[in-house]
């Protein structure tokens, strides 16, 4: 959530920045709600002051022989009921303004390029050279179905956009997860973290998925009037919320990594990537999350993105790095790098990781703070996260980039210790 004082003092600047994200700030509505809130608070405070003044008069009247009830009735009148009404109006106005602010996205960083869609994202780096095949490369579906990948089985069990993996394909999927976790914990300094796969509405509101993106979530109604829970769309939600409504007293940066399944309804994506594992309702991801002090998050974004890149480089997968334009930038993000891996079966680069800096936007929604040792006072944290990497899409990239003409797939060298020394699958 944006700082209301900053919006109030910089309305034109905020409106112009949000326009870069293709969001129109309703300045008139904001000003009206803000004025209603201030007027309601002023009235409630004024009535409280009147009540305090009247209390002194009651004492004087009692001293002159009047009964307490008579004195109170004469002086107070209906002031208590007026205060109740005024305070409720103030709460309603405060809630209305907060609800509006929850719908306002984060401001884009100054160096985020202009643009309307992913076509306007700017390439900043390209790593590796796509392999030249002596045969026509297949896409991952044709490569993997003979090796244990079944979309028919997934559909029988759950429906479309689900997959079942068996045998060596399932083992490679697990090996990728273990390899990523080991790399990030042993080489990059992250603390491995296990979190719930179900979260409450407050958690999703804290990281910015709610209220705007509820249709993208799987909601689990609870019995006996309990509040509904939601399947996590990414480990970002539970991991970042570990510091919600808390003041962290430890050293920064605080770096956490978690492997979880992720669940997305893919609302609005009908007809897109219906073949294969690119866009599934359920997929696994190794997520990187950092909590840092204000003023250090720009450098932290470069570092975190580099950690995701290291996985691709160790696996020998060609990729490119792009900075998202304003029109493609996520709701809560101030700046995002996408890593796009080369898929020879599609002859194009496809997203495999998204790494974002949220500044204090999420922390303000969650009231996630740390105690600055120099001042001893709590300050809002800056939060960052990124995929390190999406496991299913990494499996797809290996199947396509390491496929052989006989239908087998070479196991990348760094994965072989996690697969019992196996060098080829499907041989």
Q: Is 8 one of the annotated binding-site residues?
A: no
Catalytic status, residue 244: no
- Distance, in Å, from the CA atom of 95 to the CA atom of 227, rounded to the nearest integer, reads 20
Annotation-wise, does 145 bind a ligand? no
| Surface-to-core class of residue 119, CB atoms within 10 Å of its CB (0-12 exposed, 13-18 middle, 19+ buried) | exposed
Whether 214 sits among the annotated catalytic residues: the reply is no
Is residue 385 a known part of a binding site?
yes
Query: Catalytic annotation on 161?
Result: no
Catalytic residue among 279, 320, 350, 416: 279
* 264 among annotated binding-site residues: yes
**Could you confirm whether 279 is annotated as catalytic?**
yes
Could you say which of 37, 354, 364, 365 is catalytic? 354
**Residue (of 260, 275, 261) closest to 345 by Cα position:** 275
Residue 310's CB: how many other CB atoms inside 10 A? 16
Confirm whether residue 351 is marked as ligand binding: yes
Calpha distance 228→219 (Å, rounded): 7
Looking at the DSSP assignment, which residues form a beta bridge with residue 424?
A: 410
What angle do the packed helices 297-315 and 391-401 form, to 10 degrees? Answer: 40
- Is 106 assigned a ligand-binding role in the annotation? no
User: Residue 99 contacts by C-beta under 8 Å, 6 or more apart in sequence?
Assistant: 211
Catalytic residue, from 37, 364, 365, 393: name it.
393
Q: Is 103 annotated as ligand-binding?
A: no
As a whole number of angstroms, the distance between CA 170 and CA 176 comes to 10
DSSP 360: T
Is 265 annotated in some ligand binding site? yes
Rounded Cα distance, 393 and 400, in Å: 11
Q: Is 287 annotated as a binding residue?
A: yes
* Annotated active-site residue in 118, 145, 351, 379: 351
- With residue 207 as reference, give the H or E element that holds it: helix 201-207
Q: Among 264, 364, 365, 369, which one carries the catalytic annotation?
A: 264
Whether 365 sits among the annotated catalytic residues: the reply is no
Annotated binding residue 353: yes
Residue 298 labelled as part of a binding site:
no
List residues forming the annotated binding site.
234-236, 264-266, 287, 351-354, 385, 387
Binding-site residue numbers for L-serine are 234-236, 264, 287, 385, 387
Task: Cite the annotated binding site for ATP by residue number.
Answer: 264-266, 351-354
Catalytic residues: 264, 279, 351, 354, 393
């Amino acid at each position: 959530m944006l700082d209301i004082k900053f919006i109030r003092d910089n309305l034109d600047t905020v409106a112009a920045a949000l326009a870069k994200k293709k969001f129109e700030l309703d300045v008139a509505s904001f000003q009206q709600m803000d004025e209603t809130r201030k007027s309601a608070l002023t009235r409630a405070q004024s009535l409280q002051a009147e009540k305090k003044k009247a209390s002194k008069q009651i004492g004087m009247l009692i001293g002159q022989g009047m009964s307490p009830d008579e004195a109170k009735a004469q002086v107070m009148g209906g002031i208590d009921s007026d205060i109740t009404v005024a305070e409720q109006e103030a709460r309603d106005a405060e809630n209305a303004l907060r609800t509006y602010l929850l719908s306002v996205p984060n401001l884009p960083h100054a160096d985020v390029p202009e643009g309307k869609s992913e076509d306007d994202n700017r390439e900043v780096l390209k790593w590796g050279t796509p392999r030249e095949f002596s045969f026509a490369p297949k896409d991952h579906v044709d490569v993997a179905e003979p090796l244990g990948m079944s979309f028919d089985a997934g559909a029988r069990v759950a429906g479309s956009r689900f997959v079942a993996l068996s045998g060596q394909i399932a083992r490679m999927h697990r090996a990728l997860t273990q390899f990523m976790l080991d790399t990030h914990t042993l080489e990059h300094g992250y603390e491995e973290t296990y979190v719930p796969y179900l979260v409450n509405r407050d958690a999703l509101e804290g990281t910015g998925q709610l209220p705007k993106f509820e249709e993208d979530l799987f909601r689990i109604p609870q019995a006996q009037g309990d509040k509904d829970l939601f399947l996590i769309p990414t480990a970002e939600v539970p991991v970042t919320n570990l510091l919600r409504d808390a003041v962290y007293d430890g050293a920064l940066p605080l770096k956490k990594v978690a492997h979880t399944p992720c669940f997305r309804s893919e609302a609005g994506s009908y007809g897109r990537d219906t073949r294969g594992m690119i866009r599934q309702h359920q997929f696994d991801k190794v997520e990187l999350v950092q909590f840092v002090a204000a003023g250090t998050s720009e450098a932290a974004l470069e570092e975190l993105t580099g950690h995701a890149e290291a996985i691709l480089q160790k696996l020998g997968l060609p990729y490119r790095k792009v900075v998202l334009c304003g029109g493609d930038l996520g709701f809560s993000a101030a700046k995002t790098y996408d890593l796009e891996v080369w898929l020879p079966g599609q002859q194009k680069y496809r997203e495999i990781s998204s790494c974002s800096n949220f500044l204090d936007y999420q922390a303000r929604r969650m009231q996630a703070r740390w105690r600055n040792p120099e001042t001893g006072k709590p300050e809002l944290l800056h939060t960052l996260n990124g995929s390190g990497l999406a496991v299913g899409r990494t499996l797809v990239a290996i199947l396509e980039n390491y496929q052989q003409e006989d239908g087998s797939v070479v196991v990348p060298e760094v994965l072989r210790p996690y697969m019992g020394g196996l060098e080829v699958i499907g041989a």
